[in-house]
Amino acid sequence: MLQLRSPAKINLFLKIVNRRPDGYHNLASLFQAINLVDNLHFQFADYSQFVCDDPRLPIDGSNLIIKAMELFRHKTGWNRPLKISLEKRIPYEAGLGGGSGNAATTLWAMNQLSGQIATEQQLMAWAGELGSDPAFFLSQGTAYCTGRGELLQAMPPLKSPQIWIVKPHRGLSTPAVYKRLDVSKLPVNHPEETLKGFYSGDARYYNDLEIPALELAPDLILLRQQLEKQGYQAVVLCGSGSAFFCIGGSEPQAMEAVRVFPAQFLNRSQGTWY
Ligand code: C5P
């Protein structure tokens, strides 16, 4: 039996560079894992099975856990049946990468259970085949990501401020937000400069996906204003939304149809999981 935490992530800054011929977008973003986590249990069984405590989540082949399991089997030929149980705690359609973290955690777990038949480098390359975000979780928790998000440069851990994740009831679909994005209207930002700022005491938080997300979901504008009034150092959309992260300050005041999760940055040491 192996029990692992599967973390969420936030993008401390997210710059969209351009739209690519394959329909994806090149981005430049500082990704950070946080201690808002799902729990995943893996055990050997007579036949493979996947169960989840949240009935709203698909448990068929469309779930990234199943896709990751099948990919690991395909790449390595290691076929021992597993029962995988997921305790879902990270809100979804939130921009927090919960499903991507689950996929990376599954690759890591299967590699442990199989006696480490793959290297961390291989796991990271395979994670890139599952989507844009899973590879990040195979870093040590802080990484500057480029390409469609799957090209990683490991960064030293940062001292964590207090973070508040604020999740409105409504969710947002990542493809819909990217579809709405007009790259020609984005503000000019120099991501390499922004990156340096995080290591020289001049952190600047922003997210280029905020404009299309707020256009798609204008009710989020009011939520953002309510949070800004509370005096945080920053209020920024998480990934493609619909959650926001607030930096510093105390717990946001109660708001209708909104859930709040306290969080801190989370990093792992080489050879161990989060
Ligand atoms: O890679 P993933 O499956 O998470 O991406 C979901 C969707 O988000 C893609 O189909 C694409 O529409 C959009 N996307 C994008 N550029 C990225 C990442 C995602 O356009 N870098």
Q: Is the CB of 134 under 6 A from ligand 1?
A: no
CB atoms within 10 A of CB 93: 17
Structure tokens at 202: 């001049």
Clarify whether 185 is annotated catalytic: no
Q: Whose CA is nearest to atom 8 of ligand 1?
A: 175
- Residue 46 is given by DSSP the state S
Q: 209 C-alpha to center of ligand 1: Å?
A: 12
Q: What is the pLDDT along the chain (274 residues), one digit of tens a residue?
A: 999 999 999 999 999 999 999 999 999 999 999 999 999 999 999 999 999 999 999 999 999 999 999 999 999 999 999 999 999 999 999 999 999 999 999 999 999 999 999 999 999 999 999 999 999 999 999 999 999 999 999 999 999 999 999 999 999 999 999 999 999 999 999 999 999 999 999 999 999 999 999 999 999 999 999 999 999 999 999 999 999 999 999 999 988 889 999 999 999 999 999 9
Q: What is d(CA 164, CA 253) in angstroms, rounded to the nearest whole number?
A: 11
Clarify whether 133 is annotated catalytic: yes
Q: 45: left (phi > 0), else alpha (psi -120 to 50), else beta? A: beta
Q: Is the CB of 149 under 6 A from ligand 1?
A: yes
Q: Kindly name the residue from 15, 38, 67, 133 that is annotated as catalytic.
A: 133
Q: 24 C-alpha to center of ligand 1: Å?
A: 6
Please tell me the pTM assigned to this model.
0.97
Backbone phi and psi for residue 254, each to the nearest 5 degrees, phi listed first: -55, 135
